[in-house]
Structures are given as C-alpha cells and as structure tokens.
Amino acid sequence: MFYQTYKFNNGIRLVHHRHPSPVGHCGLTINAGSRDETENEHGIAHLIEHALFKGTKKRRAHHIINRMEIVGGEINAYTTKEHTCIYSSFLKEDFQRSVELICDIVFHSTFPEKELALEKEIIIDEINSYKDDPSELIFDDFEEVLFNGNPIGRNILGTPKLLRKFTREDIETFIGKNYCTDQMVFTTVVDMDFEKVLKQAGRYLEKNPPRNSSRKRIPVSCNSPVEKKIDKKTHQAHFIIGCNIPAIKDERRYTLDLLNNILGGPGMNSKLNVALREKTGYAYNVESNITLYSDTGVFATYFGTDRQHIEKCTEIVLKEFARLRNNKLGSIQLSRAKRQLKGQMIIAFENKEYLMQAMGKSHLLFNGIHSSEEIQNIIEKISSDYLMEMANMVLNPENLSILSYH
C-alpha cells in the first residue's frame, strides 16, 4: 500500500493514502487512553472523548454536531486503553471542513460545566447499561483479574462516583499531561494529491504549539494464574479462560492471529464453534480473541451456556486446547487456515474508515505500516511446528486464568 508522510514542526505526523472514491476519511489518533489515568482519574480519558463535542471557543455543542451532518458527513470518536481517536467521514470536497472541525474540538474545547454535568449522566447510564450485558462485562473483569493492580486492568468507562467529581480543571490537567503533539498522528484516506492534503491539513495542524511527552507508563508484570467465580444471578453462566500473551510489537503476533482464528475466530468453522455450537448445541455464543497492547497482550476464550452445561463446555474447550498443543495441523488444514485469515484481513482493509484508523495506530506504535502484501507473506511462512509451539505457550493449562459468572 502506497502512503505518504510528513512531520510538522510541532511533532504531529500526517499520513496520507490516496484512494479513488467520492468519500474520504480522516482522523487524529492520540497516544493517550485509560491506562494513562491515575487511580483518582479513572474514567477521565473516556469522559474527555465525550466532552470534546460539547463546545469550543467558537462553537457550541449543536454547532459541532451540525458542522459535518449538514453536508452528509459525520464526526465521531472512541477511547481505548492506550489511545484516543477523533475521526470523520465526508465527501472529498468537504475535507478541509472535516480537518478544521477535528482540530477545533481537540485543541480549543472549553468543557462547559453545564454540558459536562449532562455528559457525566449519559456515561453513567452507559455504565449501568454495560452492567446489564454480562457477555461484554466479563471481558473487562477478566483483564482486571489478569492485570490486578495495574492501570491497564481497569475498565475504560470509570465509576459513577469518580465521574461526578471530575471538573474542567481535572480534564485540562489530564490533557496537558497526555495530549502531546509528538504523540499525535493525523491520517487521511481521500482522493486528493498529497500536496493539497498537506496544505489544507497543515493550516490547522501546524499552528498548535509543540508539546513533547515525558509520560512513563507503569510497566505490566504478569500475575500468577487465578480462578475466580462471581455470583451475577444471570440466566446463563458465562465463562472466560485465558492468559497474558506477547505484545503487539512481538514478531509472533501473526502466529497468534492464526492460532486464535483456527481456535475460535469469527468464522463459523472455528474449532470451538463447531464443538460447542454445531455438534452439541451447548452454547450460542463462543469465541476466542486476542487483544494486543504496546507492552503486553491478552488471549481469552469465552462462552455462555446454561448452568447445567458449564462443566461439559469447559471440558470440551480444554480438549480443543490440548489437540492444538499436541497435534500438528496437516499441510491442507494449515493452508486453508492461512487462506482464511489472509482473506479476512484483505476484506477488512477494504473498509477505508478501518484502514484510516489502523494507519494512525500503526504509526503511533511502529512509525510505519505493514502492507497487506507484507502481512500475507508473514502468514504464509508460518509452519505447523511453529503454530504448535505457540499453542503450547498460550494454551498451557498451568498458565491459564479463569473467570466465571454463575
């Protein structure tokens, strides 16, 4: 994939990929998320993401909402544990409008107290809604078990008690520490030549004063495996089993992707879906996934089932783990698994909004992007021996933690 880059004097990087389409996408990705909060700031990174849309020095909340929508575009944002992204989709003739709006809300928000109070209640309602969905909540609780005591283990939303205490000054303090220009990447996927993108985006990105980060994240240490049960009084039992895995920069990440895809990825032909849903009917929802951070990662297998089936389901899951640890995939099986994963990745990159966001995250972490072709070549070189070696590391019963809702 061909892309062009430029670094402004204040440290903000611009990454551009030209794609022939009347629709464009752009976004500002910031290397700041919930793991950068102190204990007393829990939830503030996500609150800021919401509050950015509530007023700037020259716009009120309804002006921000309408700015892109009146031309058929949209602006949105999300927060993860390690980064925040504010992004927009638009008709290509409205590119400058989109860049200007993103820069206005990121660099000139005023965080009106009245709007903050309303937004806090909206997030508290989001927290309460989230608690009503145990199949989602259990993943956050599992990371808290794995990373007990480290900020990366805390959920992103925060707590109602802390949220209600946050002031505009608290928000500005967090932004001052974490929204640093040398930790920002602006990415564009739009049908425009690079010089025009640079000129239009530079008008709003370059004039912000430089701010270099001195932040040091608390390193992650692996805890001993834990088995924990929580009484949630839910209709179903919910079960998750997993462990720490290598970080996103580890060269084994694509072997992890392949192993995960074979075991419980999105395909209906995954081993766990066939074993727990198609053959036995014990579980409607079963999956495994990997979450990779800058210095650690999480592998997790989840299923929800009737309480009477939880022991049988656990036994089946552990048997599938053992098969991957003890039996090498044949050449035909391995070839099919690689082809499936490569196909999924190629299709994902066809979503240009996803591509734009992936470009930002990749440049924050690697200062570059692996092309689709490069990734396919890496996957193609994975051997059945190497895959089994990875299975023995990740699926070793001695390393697995368990969390269940009964």
The total domain count for the chain is 2
Average pLDDT for the chain: 96
Burial (CB < 10 A; 0-12, 13-18, 19+), residue 26, is buried
Interval 216-262: pLDDT, tens: 999 998 778 999 999 988 889 999 999 999 999 999 999 999 999 99
304: domain CATH number?
Answer: 3.30.830.10
Q: Which residue range(s) make up the domain with 320? A: 227-405
| pLDDT tens readout for residues 175-191 | 999 999 999 999 999 99
Whether residue 300 has pLDDT greater than 90: yes
Q: What is the pLDDT of residues 12-21, one digit of tens each?
A: 999 999 999 9
Instruction: Please indicate, yes or no, whether residues 165 and 272 belong to a single structural domain of this protein.
Output: no
**Which residue in the block uniquely carries the two structure tokens 């204040």?**
10
| Entry pTM | 0.95
102: pLDDT confidence band, cut at 50, 70 and 90? very high
Quick check: is 220 in a domain? no
Is residue 211 domain-resident? no
Confidence of residue 1 (pLDDT cuts 50, 70, 90): confident
DSSP 24-65: EEEEEEES--GGGS-GGGTTHHHHHHHHTTSBBSS-BHHHHH
Q: What pLDDT, on the 0 to 100 scale, is given for residue 406? A: 86
Same domain, 302 and 340: yes
Q: Does residue 370 carry a pLDDT above 90?
A: no
Q: Does 138 lie in the same domain as 43?
A: yes
* DSSP per-residue letters across 201-245: HHHHHTTSPP------PPPP-PPPP-EEEE----SSEEEEEEEEE
Q: How far is CA 200 from CA 17, 183, 209, 224, in A?
A: 15, 21, 18, 52
Percent of all residues in the chain with a pLDDT value above 90, rounded to a whole number: 94
Cα 95 to chain centroid, rounded: 25
The answer to whether residue 222 sits within a structural domain is no
* Residue 234 covered by a domain: yes
| pLDDT tens digits, one per residue of 233-244 | 888 999 999 999
- Does residue 95 surpass a pLDDT of 80? yes
Mean pLDDT, range 274-290, rounded to an integer? 95
